[in-house]
Structure 1
Amino acid sequence: MFRSYLRLILFTFGLLVGVQVPGFIDDYAKRVEAHRLEAEQGLKGFRATAKRFFKGDLDALVAHYRVSDDPVMRNDAQSVSSLVSRAQLLEREWRAMQGPWYLRAWHVVLGADPELRKETLAAYNYQVLLAPGAIAWGLGAGLLLAWLVESQFVLLGWAISGGRSRKVQERHWR
């Protein structure tokens, strides 16, 4: 009886954790898009200058700033270069979040920018979504967690009993 309740608790816990996955992925994608739009807004003036004088090449604009005789321009070269690098990173992240659900999930787990993932986690509000994707993630996580934990207990019991089942042990004691 205790084992049945333990299975239910594990399944419920896995279900509740699993339904968080689509919400977190969605929050990460929204955060990336917001940062990307903000970075593009910050580069708007520099893009116009690059378009006017360097055929739209921001790297050429930065190179021009770096070799300028004006110390202010040389100093600003690093700031503009940082803005360009940040915008490129956010564009890559945004593109990664445009694929199918399994690639987005894979990216958030293994390929996401650690700073953005940490920021998203800090601002994430736990929620129970009743969307089909969230339900599927929840059921999958619940079943997987219950199966993994029960398998560990079965293997532990098998290792403790020396690989023999209870029926075999009872037969030898008769």
Structure 2
Amino acid sequence: MLRSYVRLVLFTAGLLIGVQIPGFISDYGKRVEAHLMEAQQNLRGYSDTAQRFFNGDVQALIQHYRSSDDPVFRTDANNISNLLSRTQMLDREWQALQGPWYTRAWHVLTAADPDIRNETWNGYTWQVLLSPQVIGWGLICALLFSLVIESFVLFIDWVFVGRHHVRPVNRDSR
């Protein structure tokens, strides 16, 4: 009986962990979008200047600043270049999060921006969303979590105890 309750607890723990995954991915996407909008806003003035004088080519504006004799302009060239790089990186990140659920999950797991992922994790509040996708994540994680833990325990039992839980056959029941 205790084993059944342990199984239920493992399944429930896996379910509660699993329903957090879509919420975390969603929060990560919202942070990326917010950072992207802020970076675009910061770059907007320079983009407008590049549009007026360099046919919209921000790189040409950066080169113009770098070739200036004024050290302030040369320093600003690096700042504009950093803003442009950051905006482009965030745009690529946002584009990666526009695919199906499995590509978003894989991206956040393997290729997400570490600073934004850590920022999301530090600001994440545990939540239970009820949508078909979240329920699916929860059930799959619960089953996998339960299966892995129980298989591990059975393996340890088999290796160290060396016995199988076999019921003796009652021969008098004929």
- Using the size of structure 2 for normalisation, the TM-score is 0.91
Q: Name 2:164's counterpart in structure 1.
A: 165
Residues 1:90 and 2:90 aligned together: yes
The range that moved more, 45-54 or 105-114, is 45-54
Mapped pair 1:134 → 2:126: no
- Following TM superposition, by how much is the alpha carbon of 1:165 offset from its aligned partner in structure 2, in angstroms? 2.9
Q: Give me the whole-angstrom Cα distance separating, in 1, the residues matched to 2:97 and 2:43.
A: 22
User: After TM superposition, what 4+ stretches of structure 1 lie above 3 angstroms from structure 2?
Assistant: none
Alignment partner, residue 117 of structure 1: 117
Q: Give the drift of 1:166.
A: 4.3
1:166/1:15 CA distance change after superposition, 3 Å: closer
Mark the CA change 1:138 to 1:167 in structure 2 (over 3 Å): closer, same or farther: closer
How far has the Cα of 1:68 moved from its partner?
A: 0.7
SS at match of 2:125: coil
**Pair 1:167–1:142, CA change in 2 (3 A):** closer
In structure 2, what is the Cα distance between the partners aligned to 1:158 and 1:97? 44
Aligned length: 169
Gaps of 5+ in 2: 170-174
1:1-174 matches, within 5 Å, as: 1-162=1-162, 165-167=164-166
Alpha-carbon offset, residue 54 of structure 1: 1.9
Change (3 A) 1:55 1:20: same
**SS where residue 91 of structure 1 aligns?**
helix
RMSD: 1.6
Query: What secondary structure does 1:122 align onto?
Result: helix
Q: What TM-score results when the alignment is normalised by the length of structure 1?
A: 0.91
Q: Distance in 2 between matches of 1:32 and 1:130?
A: 23
Q: Post-superposition shift, 1:167?
A: 4.0
In structure 1, what is the Cα distance between the partners aligned to 2:117 and 2:102? Answer: 17
User: Aligned AA for 1:165?
Assistant: H
Deviation at 1:157, TM superposition (A): 1.5
* 2-structure distance, mates of 1:31, 1:167: 54
Residues 16 and 166 (structure 1), Cα distance of their counterparts in 2 relative to 1, 3 Å cut: closer
Q: What stretches of structure 1 of length at least 5 have no aligned partner?
A: none
Shift of residue 41 of structure 1? Answer: 0.8
- Counterpart of 1:99 in 2: which secondary structure? coil
What code does the residue aligned with 1:40 have?
Q
Following TM superposition, by how much is the alpha carbon of 1:160 offset from its aligned partner in structure 2, in angstroms?
A: 2.0
Same amino acid, percent of matched pairs: 56
